[in-house]
Amino acid sequence: MSDSAAPQHDLAEEFSSRTSPMQKIQSTLHRYPYLSPLIVLIAAMIIFTLLNERFLLPNNLSLMTQQTVIVGTLAIAQTLVILTAGIDLSIGAIMVLGQMVMANLAVSAGASNVLPIAGQSPVVAIILGILVAMLAGAVNGFLIVKLSLPPFIVTLGTLSIFTALTLILFKARTIQGPEIPDLLKVMGNAFSIGPFQIMYGVIVMLVLYAIFAYILRSTAWGTHIYAVGDDPQAAELSGINTKRVLFSVYVVSGLIIGIAAWITIGRVGSASPNVAPNINLDTITAVVIGGTSLFGGRGTMIGTLLGALIVTVVENGLALAGLDQAYRVLAIGVLVIAAVALDQWIRRVKS
């Protein structure tokens, strides 16, 4: 097989290395999954600037960062969960629970819905609110890991349970801004850099993105999250304690949701059980548009941040262009389908 086989082999190699431009695009997107949302974001910003020059004004850019902050922060938690091939439908419910705990603990007894525990210092209130959110995440993690139930079903159930718990414990009453201590609302304050108004909450969100991007890329826990979402059996056989990784992901996502609850009080200026009713689906939208696969194992934090920004930019830009709500919703829907279709195509890459 030496003399006659050699040229044949070369021919085959030459043939297989003749990749089409489409294949090149495919493998590039496969290698850098945040590239497609980055292109979409830049394209959208150019188009909306051409449609209405007010789009690029510092005021509007600042506003868009503020419009992104709640979904953007929660989407960090959703990204961690989706990377493990899970999904969290209870993110909004946990966030509301967390902020109602914070607000009711921090206000004076007269303003609180739960008299015996009211009047705590704001620091204690914030910490307890975050701990409750982590506990709620732990409940999700426990049900998913110990009872081996699908995350979709578990979090569909806890979505109702946490929502009901919030209403039972804290009634349906909104706690108004003036009653809430300043520290709970501090995330909504802004400082200016030149003509831009930067909210503290936005800074916290960006810091969280940086931290979790680092964790995913450069720590063993991050690698294990990808491995568990990619192929749980292979991960287990490779010596990874998949159950512990999964459980810890839900607890850490609870921590992020707790911080998001604090940011939400600041951004909204009050604590209402009815805040952000579509937030669960909005976080999933941001994650998916950001190039993270719903099948788990691939995606990036920077992609999710871009995804959250794309949603804001499209809604804001279309509104400035004079289109009404229905068209904005339509546009987001089209983006989601396009993103999932793109993901399917990218996943088919082979050498």
**Closest distance of CB 30 from other proteins, Å:** 7
CB contact at 8 A, 138 and 250: yes
Q: Give least dist CB 247 to other proteins, A.
A: 16
CB-CB contact of 209 with 76 (8 Å): yes
Tokens of 240: 């990874």
Give the residue with the Cβ less far from other proteins, 169 or 234: 234
The CA–CA distances, whole Å, from 85 to 109, 152, 155 equal 44, 10, 14
- Residue 31 tokens, joined: 């290698």
Q: Which of 12, 329, 341, 349 binds other proteins (CB under 8 A)?
A: 349
Provide the minimum distance between the beta carbon of 24 and other proteins in the complex, in angstroms, as a whole number: 13
Report which of 200, 242, 164, 227 is spatially closest to residue 73, judged by C-alpha positions. Answer: 200
Candidates 240, 305, 313, 314: give the one binding other proteins (CB under 8 A): 240
By CB under 8 A, the residues from 261 to 300 that bind other proteins are: 297-298
Q: How far is the CB of 236 from other proteins (least distance, A)?
A: 7
> In the stretch 32-71, what mask flags binding to other proteins with x, by CB under 8 A?
----------------------------------------
Residue 11 binding other proteins, by CB under 8 A: no
Complex with other proteins: residue 27 or 176, whichever CB lies closer? 27
Q: Can you say whether the dihedral through the CA atoms of 51, 53, 56, 62 is positive or negative?
A: negative
**Could you give the residue ranges of the DSSP H alpha helices within 84-150?**
91-106, 122-146
Q: Does 233 bind other proteins (CB under 8 A)?
A: yes
Of residues 148 and 218, the one with the C-beta less far from other proteins: 218
* Nearest distance from C-beta of residue 85 to other proteins, angstroms: 11
Share of the chain residues as helix, strand and coil, in percent rounded to the nearest 5: 75, 5, 25
* Piece of the chain touching other proteins by CB under 8 A; list 85-93, 142-150, 212-220, 261-269: 212-220
Nearer to other proteins, 27 or 49 (CB): 27
How many residues make contact with other proteins (CB under 8 A)?
A: 28
User: Does residue 8 touch other proteins according to CB under 8 A?
Assistant: no
Which residue, among 207, 260, 248, 281, has the nearest Cα to 94 in the 3D structure?
Answer: 260
Residues in the chain: 351
User: Please, which residue, 179 or 236, has the CB nearer to other proteins?
Assistant: 236
Q: Which of 306, 56, 273 is nearest to 164 (CA)?
A: 273
Cα distance between residue 341 and residue 188, in whole Å: 37
**Cβ 220 vs Cβ 233: under 8 Å:** no
User: Nearest 5 degrees, angle CA 317-CA 323-CA 326?
Assistant: 105
Q: Figure out which of the listed residues 30, 63, 111, 340 binds other proteins, where binding follows CB under 8 A.
A: 30
CB of 297 to other proteins, least distance (A): 4
Query: Given candidates 203, 236, 281, 345, which one binds other proteins under the rule CB under 8 A?
Result: 236
Q: Which among 164, 156, 133, 149 is positioned nearest to 250, based on CA atoms?
A: 133
Binding segment for other proteins (CB under 8 A), chosen from 98-106, 221-229, 258-266, 272-280, is 221-229
* Distance between CA atoms of residues 104 and 113, nearest Å: 6
From the list 11, 153, 237, 330, which residue makes contact with other proteins (rule: CB under 8 A)? 237
Footprint of other proteins (CB under 8 A): 27, 30-31, 214, 218-221, 223-224, 226-227, 230-231, 233-241, 297-298, 349-351
